[in-house]
Amino acid sequence: MYIVKKEVDYAIRIVAYLMGKRSLVKTEEISNKIFISLPNTIKILHKLSKCGIIITKTGKNGGNLLEKNVENLSVLDIIRCMGFDFEVNACVNVPDSCKLNPICNITHFFADIQYGIIDKLKNAKIKDFVFDDEALNKIGGMYE
């Protein structure tokens, strides 16, 4: 079982790619540069647009661009945009679901893990993961 599904991983990669761009980027370019199928890229871009993370312009001169106010966007913001919300243990998010909770050290153990992960994702800024076109071009040549 994966905690982060492929779609969420792809969304993070798409935003990291767009973070390095200053102008509209065609959907096909995104798909090709970061090795995500075009249907998946379209679906993810739609979700990111609904969350206000990207702007999508249609038409001949259209493309995709990050919103201007996302320079401090966290990995957690993208994960939540994609509809992913996790819990390590049900007792952490719904303490009343367990009668042992007031004395249960297991719940505290899982809570520490869960809140630690959430803090790490919140503090991981997408600007620290920007894809460099030069490096991507080298990788692209390896698969041609």
Please write the tens of the pLDDT for every residue from 8-34. 999 999 999 999 888 999 999 999 999
Its pTM stands at: 0.84
- DSSP assignment, residue 82? T
Q: For helices 6-19 and 38-50, give the axis angle rounded to 10 degrees.
A: 70
The predicted-structure confidence for 40-56, as pLDDT tens digits, reads as follows: 999 999 999 999 999 99
Q: Give the mean model confidence (pLDDT) for residues 98-122.
A: 86
User: Please, what are the domains in the chain?
Assistant: 6-85+125-142 (1.10.10.10)
Q: What's the chain's average pLDDT?
A: 87
